[in-house]
Amino acid sequence: MVRIIPSGNFPNEGNGIPLRYSRHADMPRPHLRLLIAGSFATALLAGCGGSSSQTSPTPSPLSTAQIQSRYTAAANAYNTYETQISITENAACDVGSPTASLTACQTALRNQRQATIAYDDALRATTFSGDAAIDSSHLLSDDAAIESLLEQAATAPSLATIASVQTQIIPLLATAVTAATALRADIGLPAPA
């Protein structure tokens, strides 16, 4: 590196101070230490740190038996809860029933919604392909609409309002049963009994 050093005072010489070049002049380099330290730190981080674009290993596809097992477990859990819930729902939500109760009905509807969500979560956790993926998507879509209506019914101010919302749920339940039956056929399970 070359440092420019003024050679003396020559104010009367027209073009300013003449300059002398010296190869041996020491030049202070305070930023050089920072540059070296920064380079070292960067190298250290690059060596120790992982790439931000690492990908997780792709899960291996499930066998047909595994898919059937997962679906059956989810469906059996749903059906067990639904059987218990529907007993309470039939007794508490029927306006003409002597056991009708707004609070008990709302609780039953909340429980039915939670059972549906648990079933749907199990479906989402299973990777379906082909027709099963299409039918699973239809079933999840139907169930999302049912879940929304169940939430409305569970917060309704009266049993009459709940009865009105239930008239919207019933056709969706029929559509969901059709989609579930198609999904069962797609994965090699018999239609529900």
The predicted-structure confidence for 137-151, as pLDDT tens digits, reads as follows 999 999 999 999 999
User: Any idea where the domains of the chain sit in the sequence?
Assistant: 64-186
Q: At the top level of CATH, which class does the domain 64-186 belong to?
A: mainly alpha
Question: Helix/strand/coil (H, E, C) string of 40-94?
Answer: HHHHHHHHHCCCCCCCCCCCCCCCHHHHHHHHHHHHHHHHHHHHHHHHHHHHHHC
82-115 residue pLDDT tens: 999 999 999 999 999 999 999 999 999 999 999 9
Taking CA atoms, 178 is separated from 2, 9, 81, 113, in Å, by 86, 101, 20, 19
Question: What's the distance, CA 109 to chain centroid?
Answer: 26
Q: What is the residue type of 58?
A: T
pLDDT at 19: 43
Whole-structure pTM value: 0.68
pLDDT at 176: 95
pLDDT at 193: 74
